[in-house]
Structure 1
Amino acid sequence: MESSIALIIVLVVFALSLFGGMNISSVLILSGMVGIYLIVGIDPVINLVQVDTFSTAASYTLTTIPLFVLMSQFIVKSDIVKYLYSLIFITSRGKSAILGVFTVILGGFLGAVSGSASAMSAALGQFAVPELKKHGYGETFAASIAAAAGSLATIIPPSIGLIVYGAITQTSISSLFIGIIIPGIITIVLLSLIVVFIYYKESKKNPTQNTEHGETKRYSTRNYVISAATGILIMVAILGGIYSGIFTPTEAGGVGAFITLIAALILGKVNKEFIASSFKETIKITTMVMMIMIGATIFTRFVTLSRLPQKLIETLGPLLDSPMLIMIILLAIFFVAFMFLEGAAAIVMLVPITLPLAESVGYSPLEFGIIMSVIGTAGLITPPVGISTYAVSGVTRISSNKIFRYTMVYAIFISIFGSAILLLFPELITWLPNSMK
């Protein structure tokens, strides 16, 4: 069958199955198999299911995922997040204007020791929103800060999205983890600036906003010291180990999980339920990602057979002399995709199509992956899906529509200024990876 007709049929199957409520992994598998069958017949489909799907799931690169997810579960269930947040508020001495910035920075810090945007958003929603409200922040504004801060986990290493991207494009996970550090810091700074601006703008409307309304709950000094030391040690071990070449990303995930488990033991949090629930959630999340990757393998094979990337390059041929315009178009596509889809799903669907075009205008897979991830951060807080926003809404019972009024501002600010900085100065991405041993 003509590939153009097959492409139209696959798009219809994709849309019907997606809006019919199927999981994204099932949507990718079904659409890919239908497309391959229409173009080359049934035998390649059978061979793909028998051989390539196993090769995908057995990839060494993906062993990084369960170890980092397990580390994330240990962190959340050992209450390290809660202790660190309390410590931040106490050391800020109740300076309300700074508290929002501290929340953003803490979101980035916790993202570095977790990697789960939804988990961090939910955790910050539980602990940050009540504390911010005590210090005069409106509950909706406070919830929006928690959602934005939690979304930083998608770009601060370890990031499951970056691992998936690296596996698909065969880009070094180590380079991705190190390359995202400076863009991650830039994103945190931009987000902090807009939070401070909104805070002072609202404080003029409500002069009593900076009045302290309550006391932050205090825990033992021992808990604070152990939690802070654990966070610092994990960051040094993971980022330092990868940067220096001591650890592979997989080994770094194992080291991080081990450090966190020891901290949980010292804090007295480890019991049968702690272990069982941590491994149960790790298996669920890892299985989900593996199924998405299998779906991506099948769907990518169809994309290759359909010659869609080549057709896209031919269609946009007149624009190839304007690399910046091409990149803006591609990033706009990703921004819209992240508004509707979970990050890993958007990556596996679009990267095989868009990366060849990005490479044709001079951007390496490393540069494209990092810039795309920053856009993904904005997508996590943008309607209609906005996973981070819904996570905060779920734990705070604050209307997601109200939270979106603030998070849309953050998303636009990050998308415009964050991507502009990285597009104009790609050296900010490549400098640290190029200096790795």
Structure 2
Amino acid sequence: MAVEVIVMFAILFGLLAGGLWIGLSLGVTGVVLLFIFRDIPLHRLVPQYTWNILTTQELLALPLFILMGEVLFRTKLSKSLFTGLAPWAGLLPGRLIHVNIVGCTMFAAISGSSAATTQVVGRIALTELLKRGYSRDIAVGTLAGAGTLGFLIPPSNILIIYGVLADVSIIKLFTAGLIPGALLAMCFMGWVMIHTTIRRDLVPDSERAMSQVSWGERFAAVKDLAPTVFLIACVLGSMYGGIATPSEAAAVGVLGAVLVAAVQRTLTLAVMREIAIASVITCSMIALILLGASILGSAAAFLGIPAKVAGFVESLGLSPLMLMVVLILFYLVLGCFLDGFSMIVMTLPIALPIVKLAGFDPIWFGVFIVMVVEMAQITPPVGFNLFVIQGITGDSLSYLARVTLPYLFIMMAFTILLVLFPNIVMFLPNLMAG
């Protein structure tokens, strides 16, 4: 096994270091492994795996959610979110800082993407907060932290990827992400309230009058949340109401996003062209990564690598908690060099058998792995959310990493909490099964 594992990593990291695309690197590594260690007709096997993966029915939801996110990115949804949430956020210590967190939470429930959530909410909320005199550190930090909720709160593109690769129910994965997503958002809000109470200079004195906004004005602002609530009802309501499968719900979401864009008069021919090109590029990239991961995973299975590695880890005698701590650290280091999608597809064939052997449910592990991928989104040098915010603010990566650090620690502590109390994740899926 040692020789095969060494050869696998040598080929893979050699190709990545050479600048080859991640999807191609994964696929080529799998093919070369089989060519060296097994006498298998690769000219038949590779086309068969290509067809099987790219025609998987569960994957149909992915391009549709990507399309929906691209449509929403070009609407006025971020402006209406800020206008609708601002009067209510004034009731809490930290005032409008909470718009970042609640806005990201709500947009995450319709976008499925961490980067899209960060960019859409940040375009309006961050600019408005800085203009009003809020501390730059806390405004930028909360956006980076809360933006990661796009991966956890359903519908999540990365949970779809995990569901396909791990062969588990996508609707159960979506359900499992609901409570952790809501609780993590509340943890961020709790930290903001504590931090701004201790450091009163983080919120400008002029904003403390926000608490004097009348209840009439607050209820009047609710109408600005109507587009977001409408889309959440379209996507999540159709799924959990038993009306639509995840794929069908994605199609409903696209229709809803188009209706919102049409009402807001942002859907011009030029915009539609941009949406089509961006969607095709993103879908093609993810499809290539998935295909490469499938080929490498199949090659590893043929060679018995996952089972042997799982046996080796079991022989170390690690407790389930220590195993999860090791995995958290492993993924944090890996996240310094790879994006979230690549991390999952590269490691899942080996990591999943190990956690199953330790007694963890694959549905639970789906949420766990999304949590650690979320952390990777805000760790340099390849923290994708940091790049998105850098594009908005122009700040250095070192500054962004520093102001985001409290939210990284919150996520680490929350992940350990999920390990200690797995029923936080499994409560709703078990309720569905019952």
Normalised by the length of structure 2, the TM-score is: 0.91
Tell me the CA shift for residue 95 of structure 1: 6.9
Does the alignment pair 1:100 with 2:110?
no
State the partner residue of 1:144.
Answer: 141
Contact 1:237/1:256, CA 8 A, preserved across alignment: yes
Deviations 1:249-298 (A, max 9, x none): 00000011111111111111222112211122111111111111101111
State the partner residue of 2:327.
Answer: 330
Pairing partner for 1:25 from 23, 41, 49: 23
Tell me the CA shift for residue 211 of structure 1: 3.8
Contact 1:78/1:264, CA 8 A, preserved across alignment: yes
Deviations 1:359-398 (A, max 9, x none): 1111111011111112222221112211001100112111
Does the alignment pair 1:111 with 2:108?
yes
State the partner residue of 2:261.
Answer: 264
Q: Helix, strand or coil: the match of 1:113?
A: helix
Q: Helix, strand or coil: the match of 1:98?
A: coil
Alignment of 1:26-425 (within 5 A): 26-41=24-39, 43-93=40-90, 97-203=94-200, 206=201, 209-212=204-207, 228-320=225-317, 322-416=319-413, 418-425=414-421
Contact 2:104/2:146, CA 8 A, preserved across alignment: yes
Q: Helix, strand or coil: the match of 1:32?
A: helix
State the partner residue of 1:218.
Answer: none
Pairing partner for 1:13 from 5, 11, 14: 11
Contact 1:70/1:278, CA 8 A, preserved across alignment: yes
Tell me the CA shift for residue 11 of structure 1: 1.3
CA distance in 2, matches of 1:32, 1:252: 34
CA distance in 2, matches of 1:332, 1:65: 29
Q: Helix, strand or coil: the match of 1:384?
A: coil
CA distance in 1, matches of 2:147, 2:432: 28
State the partner residue of 2:214.
Answer: none
Q: Residues 208 and 261 of structure 1: is their aligned pair in 2 closer, same or farther, counting only changes over 3 Å?
A: closer
Q: Residues 263 and 125 of structure 1: is their aligned pair in 2 closer, same or farther, counting only changes over 3 Å?
A: closer
Q: Residues 336 and 207 of structure 1: is their aligned pair in 2 closer, same or farther, counting only changes over 3 Å?
A: closer
- Identify the range of structure 1 (175-184 vs 371-380) with the bigger mean alpha-carbon deviation: 371-380
- Identify the range of structure 1 (92-101 vs 44-53) with the bigger mean alpha-carbon deviation: 92-101
- Alignment size in residue pairs: 425
Tell me the CA shift for residue 319 of structure 1: 4.4
CA distance in 1, matches of 2:231, 2:295: 36
Q: Residues 224 and 276 of structure 1: is their aligned pair in 2 closer, same or farther, counting only changes over 3 Å?
A: farther
Tell me the CA shift for residue 195 of structure 1: 2.9
CA distance in 1, matches of 2:382, 2:318: 35
CA distance in 1, matches of 2:195, 2:376: 20
- Identify the range of structure 1 (72-81 vs 307-316) with the bigger mean alpha-carbon deviation: 307-316
Q: Which runs of 5+ in 2 are unaligned?
A: 211-217
Q: Residues 271 and 207 of structure 1: is their aligned pair in 2 closer, same or farther, counting only changes over 3 Å?
A: closer
Tell me the CA shift for residue 160 of structure 1: 0.9
Normalised by the length of structure 1, the TM-score is: 0.90
Deviations 1:328-358 (A, max 9, x none): 2223222322332111111111111011111
Q: Which amino acid aligns with 2:333?
A: V
CA distance in 1, matches of 2:169, 2:202: 51
Deviations 1:89-141 (A, max 9, x none): 24445977122223111111111111121122122332122221133322243
